[in-house]
C-alpha cells in the first residue's frame, strides 16, 4: 500500500507489482558449460531449481541488489555483472505481479566456494550443465536461453571468454571456451589466425607444464586492447 498526493488530496493506492533481480552465472567446469542454480525451499515451486534471485529493497539500486542477493544465496561476490533484460510477463509469477531485471556473467568456477547464508529460502546451490537443465521454477528456462543468446552475440563483438580463463592460457584452451559457448566446433587454423591478428592476446615467454605432450605457448589478454575492441570477432 502506498499514498500519493493529487491536487493536495491524499490518495491511497494499492501496490500493483513487485520488482526482483535474477542473476545467470555461467562457467566452464569439467569441460562443460555450466550455469549456477539454487533449490527453492518455499512455494511457489518449492523444491525446484532456479536462478539465484530475490526482491529488491527500497534502498537499493538494481546493481547493488543483484550483488547482495548473489552473495547471500551463493557466496559469489566481487564479480562483473552485465544487465541482460527485463522480464515482465503478467503470468510469470503465480498469484502476484512480479517484474524481474536479469543479469548475467561469466566466471571461473575455481575462484568460488559456493555456500548460502539464508537457509529459509534455499536448500542447495550447485552448478548444472546448460544442455541438461532440470525442471526450473518460473520462466527461468527462458531467461537462461536468452542469456545464452546474448552471450554468444557478445562473444562475436568482444572476447568476453577471458572471464572463464586463467590469467595465462593456451590458444587451445581459448578455442575450447569459445566452442563451448557457441555450441559448435571452430576451425583451428582459422581461429588462431583471427586471434593473433586481432591483437587481443599477448604472447608470453612461457609454456604450459603438460607432461603428456609438447608444452604449448602461453598467452594473456591485452587489457588495453580488450577495453577498446569493437566490431565482429568471430562468426
Contact 179, 198 (CB under 8 A): no
pLDDT digits (tens, 9 = 90+) for 188-205: 999 999 888 888 889 999
- 18 strand-pairing partners: 98
E strands present in the chain: 2-6, 9-13, 18-29, 32-40, 49-50, 53-55, 82-87, 98-106, 122-129, 201-207, 217-221
Sorted by where each begins, the domain ranges of the chain are 12-156, 158-228
- Which pLDDT score, from 0 to 100, does residue 159 have? 73
Of the CATH numbers 3.40.50.2300, 1.25.40.10, 1.10.10.10, 1.20.120.530, which one belongs to the domain with range 158-228? 1.10.10.10
Q: What's the distance, CA 86 to chain centroid? A: 15
pLDDT digits (tens, 9 = 90+) for 157-199: 777 777 888 888 999 999 999 999 998 999 999 999 988 888 8
Instruction: Classify residue 9 by burial, with Cβ atoms within 10 Å: 0-12, 13-18, 19+.
Output: exposed
Sequence-separated (6 or more) residues with CB below 8 Å from residue 55: 18, 19, 20
Q: Would you call 110 helix, strand, or coil by DSSP?
A: helix
Within 15-82, residue ranges assigned H as helices are 62-74
CATH of domain 12-156: 3.90.79.10
How high is the mean pLDDT of the chain?
A: 84
pTM: 0.81
Amino acid at each position: 500500500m502506498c499514498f500519493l498526493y493529487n491536487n493536495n488530496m491524499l490518495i491511497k493506492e494499492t501496490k500493483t507489482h513487485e520488482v526482483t533481480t535474477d542473476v545467470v552465472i555461467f562457467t566452464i567446469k569439467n569441460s562443460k558449460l555450466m550455469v549456477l542454480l539454487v533449490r527453492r525451499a518455499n512455494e511457489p515451486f518449492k523444491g525446484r531449481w532456479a536462478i539465484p534471485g530475490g526482491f529488491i529493497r527500497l534502498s537499493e539500486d538494481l546493481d547493488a541488489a543483484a550483488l547482495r542477493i548473489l552473495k547471500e544465496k551463493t557466496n559469489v561476490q566481487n564479480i562483473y555483472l552485465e544487465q541482460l533484460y527485463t522480464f515482465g510477463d503478467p503470468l510469470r509469477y503465480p498469484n502476484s505481479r512480479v517484474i524481474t531485471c536479469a543479469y548475467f556473467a561469466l566466471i571461473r568456477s575455481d575462484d568460488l566456494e559456493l555456500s548460502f547464508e539464508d537457509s529459509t529460502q534455499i536448500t542447495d546451490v550447485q552448478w548444472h550443465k546448460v544442455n541438461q537443465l532440470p525442471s526450473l521454477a518460473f520462466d527461468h528456462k527462458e531467461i537462461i536461453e536468452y542469456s545464452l543468446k546474448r552471450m554468444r552475440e557478445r562473444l562475436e563483438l568482444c572476447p568476453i571468454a577471458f572471464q572463464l580463463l586463467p590469467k595465462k592460457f593456451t590458444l587451445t584452451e581459448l578455442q575450447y571456451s569459445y566452442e563451448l559457448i557457441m555450441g559448435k566446433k571452430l576451425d583451428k587454423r582459422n581461429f588462431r589466425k583471427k586471434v593473433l591478428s586481432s591483437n587481443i592476446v599477448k604472447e608470453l615467454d612461457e609454456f604450459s607444464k603438460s607432461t603428456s605432450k609438447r608444452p604449448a605457448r602461453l598467452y594473456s589478454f591485452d587489457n588495453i586492447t580488450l577495453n577498446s575492441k569493437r566490431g565482429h570477432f568471430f562468426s
